[in-house]
Amino acid sequence: MFENQITVLLGHNGAGKTTTMSMLTGMITPTEGTAIVNGHDIRTNMSQVRDSLGLCPQHNILFDELTVAEHIRFFSKLKGLNKKEIDEEINTYVDLLQLEPKRNARSKTLSGGMKRKLSVAIAMCGRSKIVMLDEPTAGMDPAARRALWDMIVKQKKDRTILLSTHFMDEADLLGDRIAIMAGGQLQCCGSSFFLKKKYGAGYHLIMDKRQDCVVSQVTDLLKVYIPNIKVATNIGSELTYILAEDQAVVFEEMLAALESKSKSLGVNSYGISLTTMQEVFMNVGADHGQEEINNRKIVTNGSMINNVNITSASFVNGFTLWRYQFVAMLMKKFRVTQRNWMLLLIQNLIPIIFIPIIFIVSAMIICRMMQFGVDLPRIDSTLDPFTDPITTITRDSEDNTYYIDSTLDPFTDPITTITRDSEDNTYYVQYRNILERENREIMNFLTESMTNNMLNQTTQYTSRVRMRYIIGASFSGNNITSWFNNEPLHSPPIALQYSMNAILQSHTTDDHFIHHQ
């Protein structure tokens, strides 16, 4: 094989094409013989051979999670290119293989044809001098195959390319030299024209005949010019003759006679063509095809793995091995995180948001637990926190042992409502005296019940009643009913305090009073 040329390797299934490439790339150790690649023996200097080697295997070997660009970047870096050169390689092969729309797509999302394109790009990238392509166009549609052909032809400069294929037209078009294998041995090698001339059957005269065509008459006409001519095929409306290449000198005269008598002979049209590569391949491999099929070995359970060349491999251990493993895991984690940035964001935001909340709630719970069973501070039951409140009071028992500061001082302009059954009610008089001594505003209802009066007041002055009517009292004989507004806090003990002081001072003097704390 020569530089700046494409050598095509042809052969039937099991002929040894893939095995040959495996030996040339060091995947399998040859049982005998050797090969010299770029001046290096594959048996003794495989590491030097691989420095300039690129391989596209028969089956795709891709990383599912890497994108098209990342594959080319990864293998270019393995081959020693710097960052600028790697970027140029990515742009070159993405453009040549028409993979721009899939530049950042993961390989597992690519179609079979695109995966083959990517495998070829991996083999070509890194400025590989020796490129081996094992059936690179398998499974590709005609348009994609044609695009790949164009790329291979453009990239053959300064390279030696070995390509295996099952497509004869591909071999005929791409191959500067074509090698045909059969039975594990190289049968022939040469240019397409050379092989056709040496192994071909010559020319083919193909006619399109009518139903009234008499084949024997056509043959008799041709025998005038080529005595030993015979019918090759006579199928349907197609009639074919094989013409020897050394008889080309009589073709002009023979075809002129055929043209003049074509209507009488029942021939619609005719044409002449050179031997195809398909015929050359069939002729060369005919003697070995059936034998190879009978003797084909079946490889199961990876039995061929034992033939992999590992003698030249070098192992690392200790700190170097640990460093390689750490960097590989770090880069893998970086790639995964780069593609799943939302997961990284959630993983960091949730702790930032919820950890302070958890600490605050925990601190509150701990504080409450620590204060459990401790006496709470005194709360003065006053009207200070309210603006003009109105309060009603309920009667409490006289033996209440709880104390709370219960005065009207905190309220702004509170109004105390009083009803009584008579002017000389002792409790009423004393209750009124207490309020007058404190300069409280008194609303004295002389008629109807407390309920009716309050309903009337509420209907007319809703806001006034809600804000300023804090407590009240109803007197009927020895019975006192305390009234309170249930909106302000601590209004019941305030109402109770005034009623109890009225009773106390009615039986003692004004100097005696009850102060709830």
pLDDT for 498 beyond 80: yes
Please tell me the predicted confidence (pLDDT) of residue 502.
87
Higher pLDDT among residues 316 and 305, named by residue: 316
pLDDT for 314 beyond 90: no
Alpha carbon of 355 to those of 76, 268, 366: distances in Å? Answer: 46, 92, 16
Please tell me the predicted confidence (pLDDT) of residue 336.
86
**Distance, CA of 63 to CA of 24 (rounded, Å):** 24
Please tell me the predicted confidence (pLDDT) of residue 163.
92
Token pair 């050379």: residue: 194
**Percent with pLDDT over 70 in the chain:** 83
pLDDT for 305 beyond 50: no
For β-strands 130-134 and 160-164, DSSP reports them as parallel
Please tell me the predicted confidence (pLDDT) of residue 458.
83
Please tell me the predicted confidence (pLDDT) of residue 297.
46
Torsion of CA 188, 193, 199, 204, to 10 degrees: 160
Please tell me the predicted confidence (pLDDT) of residue 379.
60
pLDDT for 446 beyond 80: no
Identify the band that residue 70 occupies on the pLDDT scale cut at 50, 70 and 90. Answer: very high
pLDDT for 71 beyond 90: yes
**Distance, CA of 498 to CA of 480 (rounded, Å):** 11
Spatial contact of 463 and 488, defined as CB atoms under 8 Å apart:
no
Q: Summarize the confidence of residues 472-491 as an average pLDDT.
A: 83
Residue 274, classed as helix, strand or coil, is strand
Residue pLDDT, tens place only, 205-255: 889 888 888 888 888 888 888 888 888 888 888 888 888 877 888 888 888
Q: Which helix (H) or strand (E) holds 133?
A: strand 130-134
Please tell me the predicted confidence (pLDDT) of residue 473.
86
Spatial contact of 470 and 484, defined as CB atoms under 8 Å apart:
yes
Q: What is the phi-psi region of residue 9: left when phi exceeds 0, alpha when psi lies from -120 to 50, beta otherwise?
A: beta
pLDDT for 307 beyond 70: no
For the chain, the maximum distance between any two Cα atoms, rounded to a whole number of angstroms, is: 164
Please tell me the predicted confidence (pLDDT) of residue 301.
44
Residue 456 has, within 13 A of its CA and on its CB side, a CA count of 8
Q: Which helix (H) or strand (E) holds 437?
A: helix 426-437
Burial 138-150 (b: 16+ CB within 10 A, else e): bebeeebbebbbe
Alpha carbon of 259 to those of 217, 233, 243: distances in Å? Answer: 14, 21, 17
Spatial contact of 19 and 299, defined as CB atoms under 8 Å apart:
no
Helices (H), 186-302: 192-199, 215-223, 251-265, 277-295
**Distance, CA of 26 to CA of 235 (rounded, Å):** 50
Which has the minimum average pLDDT: 68-72, 149-153, 383-387, 469-473? 383-387
Structure tokens at 130: 């020796």
Alpha carbon of 141 to those of 8, 93, 137, 409: distances in Å? Answer: 20, 19, 9, 98
Which has the minimum average pLDDT: 167-176, 382-391, 458-467? 382-391
Q: Which helix (H) or strand (E) holds 174?
A: helix 168-174
Residue pLDDT, tens place only, 251-270: 888 888 888 888 888 888 88
Which has the minimum average pLDDT: 126-135, 337-346, 354-363? 337-346
CA–CA–CA angle 433, 434, 440 (5° rounding): 95
pLDDT for 138 beyond 70: yes
**Distance, CA of 512 to CA of 506 (rounded, Å):** 10
Structure tokens at 267: 């021939």
Identify the band that residue 400 occupies on the pLDDT scale cut at 50, 70 and 90. Answer: very low
Kindly report the backbone phi and psi dihedral angles of residue 146, in degrees, each rounded to the nearest multiple of 5, phi listed first: -65, -40
Q: How many CB atoms lie within 10 A of CB 12?
A: 19
Burial 459-483 (b: 16+ CB within 10 A, else e): eeeeeebebbbbbbbbbeeeebbbb
Which has the minimum average pLDDT: 55-69, 91-105, 473-487? 473-487
Alpha carbon of 444 to those of 40, 406, 429, 504, 505: distances in Å? Answer: 123, 22, 12, 22, 21
Residue 211 CB burial class (10 angstroms; 0-12, 13-18, ≥19): exposed
Highest mean pLDDT: which range of 27-36, 114-123, 406-415, 421-430: 114-123
Q: Summarize the confidence of residues 277-296 as an average pLDDT.
A: 63
pLDDT, averaged across the chain: 80
Alpha carbon of 43 to those of 40, 47, 129, 161, 314: distances in Å? Answer: 9, 10, 19, 21, 16
